[in-house]
Amino acid sequence: MIRTGFPHAGPTIGEVGEQEVIRSIVAAAPSTVNGDDAAVLSQAAPNSRVVATTDMLVEGRHFRADLTTAYQLGRKAVVQNFADIEAMGARPTAALLAISAPPSLPLAVLTELAEGVHSKVEEYSSELVGGDVTGGDSLVVSLSAIGVLGGNRDPLTLSRARPGQHIVAHGRIGYSAAGFALLSAGVPIPAELEPLALQHQAPELTPGRGVIARAAGATSMTDNSDGLIRDLGHIASASHVGLDLDEDAIAPDEALLAAGEALGIDPWTWVLGGGEDHTLLATIEGDAPIGFRTIGVVRRGAGVTVGGSTPRYTAGWESF
């Protein structure tokens, strides 16, 4: 069953104060290096580099409290940042969490959110090592991720795709956008379509796939955060190549087709422009690495095509 809604009962963060808020977060996401002015992390292994990224989730802009839970929101915040670390071919090692929230927000919301963060970082053998809390007009969740890029192979930057390589993907494509449409419709969601809603509430990826792709010889990588065509377009532009997607390889599956029929929406809009699945998208010579599937080829030229033609939908997420 799909769960939605934030806790409404119990003391508010304004009533308990900053120190109790911090204590509750630390208790929900314990770490041996959290609790001082700054976290001192273990030294990276020889011949390695530090990778860092940050992203925000703003209430009313990136999430609706009535369509998710605080626990799922915490997990989502981790995935959207750890996917960026993995997209460089690196391994996430730590996270920092900053929260702005109105004083009237129940403390249970932040506790549940921190529990979600903790449950997800544990899947990556990582930790929440610090952060900040402050008052504000709405709930804003900002998570920063730190990772390690081992060995002397190049990072998987956007600019290293080459003609003749394959485009490979790990993760769902179109599920998150379809899930948001189902949740927003305010109608009961059949059990067979629940995976779509869950992918929107808390996207799932298999930890370590970015490292595997880099070890297998991948050259460039990004994650599907703003829409398939838009995100692959960044690789095409930075690498000065064309990317052609296999229409059959990315075609909507039975769940997406059923959701499209139920809502009267062409499911290709979700596949090509949905985003927020945080699917790992890479280019590589040879076969797809373990956990990836081939969805297209890199060619000479520019832009992104589907079956050699202009995509029927090209819209994606815009921050402003």
- How much is the pLDDT for 252? 98
- How much is the pLDDT for 47? 81
158-306 maps to CATH 3.90.650.10: yes
Residue linked to tokens 């390695």: 48
Is-contact 106 10, C-beta < 8 A?
A: yes
- How much is the pLDDT for 319? 67
Percent of the chain with pLDDT over 70: 98
- How much is the pLDDT for 82? 98
Q: Any idea which of 15-19, 36-40, 57-61, 97-101 has the lowest mean pLDDT?
A: 36-40
User: Which alpha helices (DSSP H) does the chain contain, by range?
Assistant: 13-16, 18-28, 70-86, 107-123, 175-185, 194-201, 209-215, 228-239, 247-250, 254-263, 268-273
Give yes or no for residue 38 having a pLDDT over 80: no
Give yes or no for residue 320 having a pLDDT over 90: no
Confidence band of 246 (pLDDT split at 50, 70, 90): very high
Give yes or no for residue 44 having a pLDDT over 90: no
Confidence band of 317 (pLDDT split at 50, 70, 90): confident
Q: Residues 13-25: pLDDT tens digits?
A: 999 998 899 889 8
Q: Residues 157-181: pLDDT tens digits?
A: 999 999 999 999 999 999 999 999 9
CATH of domain 13-150: 3.30.1330.10
Render 268-287 in DSSP notation, one character per residue: HHHHHH---S-EEEEEESSS
Cα(78)–Cα(260) distance, integer angstroms: 29
Percent of the chain with pLDDT over 90: 85
Give CATH 3.90.650.10 domain extents, the chain: 158-306
Q: Residues 54-90: pLDDT tens digits?
A: 999 999 999 999 999 999 999 999 999 999 999 999 9
- Nearest CA-CA partner of 173 in 124, 90, 101, 230: 230
User: What is the average per-residue pLDDT within 268-287?
Assistant: 96
Strands (E), the chain: 48-58, 91-101, 127-135, 140-150, 166-170, 220-224, 242-245, 279-284, 293-299, 303-306
Q: Residues 178-196: pLDDT tens digits?
A: 999 999 998 899 999 999 9
- How much is the pLDDT for 295? 98
- 286 token code pair: 């040879």
Give yes or no for residue 264 having a pLDDT over 80: yes
Give CATH 3.30.1330.10 domain extents, the chain: 13-150
Cα(95)–Cα(114) distance, integer angstroms: 12
